[in-house]
Amino acid sequence: MASILVTGCAGFIGSHLCEQLLSQGHRVSGLDNFDPFYDRTIKEQNMAGFATHPLFSFHELDLHQGAEALADALPAERLDLVVHLAAKAGVGPSVRQPIAYLEANVVGTAQLLEWMRLRGIGKLFLASSSSVYGNTRELPFREDMPLLQACISPYAASKLACEQLTYTYHHLYQLNVLNARFFTVYGPRQRPDLAIHKFVQLLRAGQPIPVFGDGTTARDYTFVLDTVDGIGRGIDYLLGHEQVYETINLGNKRPVQLLDLIRTIGQAVGREPQLAFHPMQAGDVDVTYADIRKAEQLLGYAPQTTLAAGIRQFVAWLDEQHPSQPTLPAAAQPAAAL
């Protein structure tokens, strides 16, 4: 079994991944800074099932504090691989706070890479994003598409910059890297600012659901456990190979239009949605659509969960959390689709 560092371990995807890795017998060091983007208690609940696991250790730290802070915080024991999920998330907020996103995501990733170089850790799984494709017109999105003028939000630009940094460290320092572009991950523990989470709240409160644009924008919704399965397969690939530098899509290859998503959520909740149409939000893209053939061939990746089944699992989880699950007020901010 391997010894693995997971950054962003208390988040939505990170907590699911830690549970899977620990169940497989891996030793996991988790790192998170409890960014105040949403309530700390939500992240603490995410970790509740594994925080005291004998193979798990937790370290609270901001990556942009630097390689020395990382060296001080993390034990000197052997680490075989790093899964880098930590990031300041969200397209809309990045439009309002671009510098904060570049500092957290790009500088934080650079500090992590430098610490890895100094520690001699040679394998990295990087979480990137479908947002790097922007409004690329050719569909589905392939990993070899030129993207230098594609990004239309600071969040997207920060993720593409992180990919460029990993290539630099691969080229100069022989770091083995798998960059994975996630496509609108949803499911239990989803961030409270994301569309599905907020739409369920609004439906239950009898409030209209905001539709930005005409409702034909589409996202390649991917259930969290399918994404985590892809990460696990990527970890196995990295551990079993040398001289790796690859970029893959971890999506579902089935774009769903916004109005169809809302209809599916309404069926799961048992309520008829009311809609309130608004102009498109700055930085939002029209469609995301993953070509996952490379991940299929390289990793054997094959998402299994239909949107309807995944939404039902999310609603069931939300029911279990209520009323103890802290949430944002239903009308606090626009829902983020990415």
- Neighbour count for residue 273 (Cβ, 10 Å): 17
List the one residue out of 7, 212, 11, 182 whose CA is nearest residue 92: 212
Contact, 337 vs 195, CB < 8 A? yes
Q: Which of 38, 101, 133, 155 is catalytic?
A: 155
CA distance 296 to 248: 9
Beta bridge partners of residue 257, listed in sequence order: 218
Known catalytic membership, residue 237: no
Contact, 267 vs 307, CB < 8 A? no
Please give the positions annotated as active site. 155
